[in-house]
Amino acid sequence: MPFFAAAITCIVSYLLGGINGAIIVSTVFLREDIRTKGSGNAGLTNMYRSFGMRAAVMTLVIDVLKAAIGILIGWLWIGHVTGFPLMGKLIAGLLVMLGHAFPVWYGLKGGKGALVCGVVALMVDWRVGLICIAFFIVVVIISSYVSAGSILSGAIVFPLFTRVFGATNQEFLLAALCGVLIVIMHIPNIGRIIMGKENKFHLQRKR
């Protein structure tokens, strides 16, 4: 039964993760494909840069809801069956992130998972989530690189403070895997940062 619960949770969470807010908003409401705009990434930052605040907020709502639902399923089902609710949240969260990054619905081309990772952090432990968000904001303000904030908060701060606030070795490993995925999805950004070619974020979008 625990294996069955984990398997179903993983499948459902992955499929939910594949529901990409940026692609839905751009193709259904704006009649354009975000993957042909700006950086080509189907994520929140590119939505804001390409279509503005309203489109970004719509994307945010969809991606937060899908992540929250997937994580709640893991918390309720795996947690109920095994007695490890945090493990359930992290398993589901990782699969939602994988679905977001490699969505079966869109030819395995999705977003980079930073926003989803933030939702995972908040639902794992609100203290961890707030620390990640605060760290992200500080890094972006200092560097003007959204990617740098995403990488550092997702790959370092999230697993570190998950551990600080009592995660087991297995739970820490799952949080670290979420961080590894964030790094993998941002490899092109890391290269551009090193070469000084990464786009900087400005609250007033370019027209």
Inter-CA distances, 133 with 118, 122, 160, Å: 7, 9, 14
What's the whole-model pTM score? Answer: 0.90
| Number of independent structural domains in the chain | 1
Is residue 5 over pLDDT 80?
A: no
Residue 8 maps to a domain:
yes
Please give the pLDDT value at position 136: 96
Q: Could you read off the pLDDT of 161-192 as tens digits, one per residue?
A: 999 999 999 999 999 999 999 999 999 999 99
> Which of 24, 51, 25 is closest to 37 using CA atoms?
51
CA atoms of 207 and 192, how far apart (whole Å): 23
Residue 203 maps to a domain:
no
Is residue 117 over pLDDT 70?
A: yes
Q: Could you read off the pLDDT of 50-83 as tens digits, one per residue?
A: 999 999 999 999 999 999 999 999 998 888 777 8
| Domain limits for position 114 | 2-195
Is residue 203 over pLDDT 70?
A: no
